[in-house]
Structure 1
Amino acid sequence: MHVGRPVCLDGDSGTGKSRLLRGFGTAAAEAGFRICYVTAAALVNELVEAANDSTCPEPSPATDAPVSLP
């Protein structure tokens, strides 16, 4: 976690990817890190728009907002 690398899991439906990522995110948030959940589609859209505009996308309120844990 201290290196700051994104986490991406790939696999078949029902193999526990979302459950693992929620666990990682919860542990990170409890350790004081900021977390952000983004769908692959949203990430690709942001990157395509940035490439088309030759810009670096700014964090949006939706992706930069704190995540509340249950």
Structure 2
Amino acid sequence: MAGKGADGMDAKATGGLIARRRKEKNWSQGELTEWLHVTDKAVSRWETGWGLPDENPWALGLA
């Protein structure tokens, strides 16, 4: 379920940030999954606000 993570990150806002930065880099979701070594399902859940990455998106180099 969407909401806030333990560190206060908002899932919808974080997902929007991840999707926006991915698109700015002209990456597909598949390219992002390879770069981060995560599943395509994980990226999809993040971008739709149904989950949060284990790492802060700033630390992932996406922000």
Q: What TM-score results when the alignment is normalised by the length of structure 2?
A: 0.32
TM-score by length of 1: 0.29
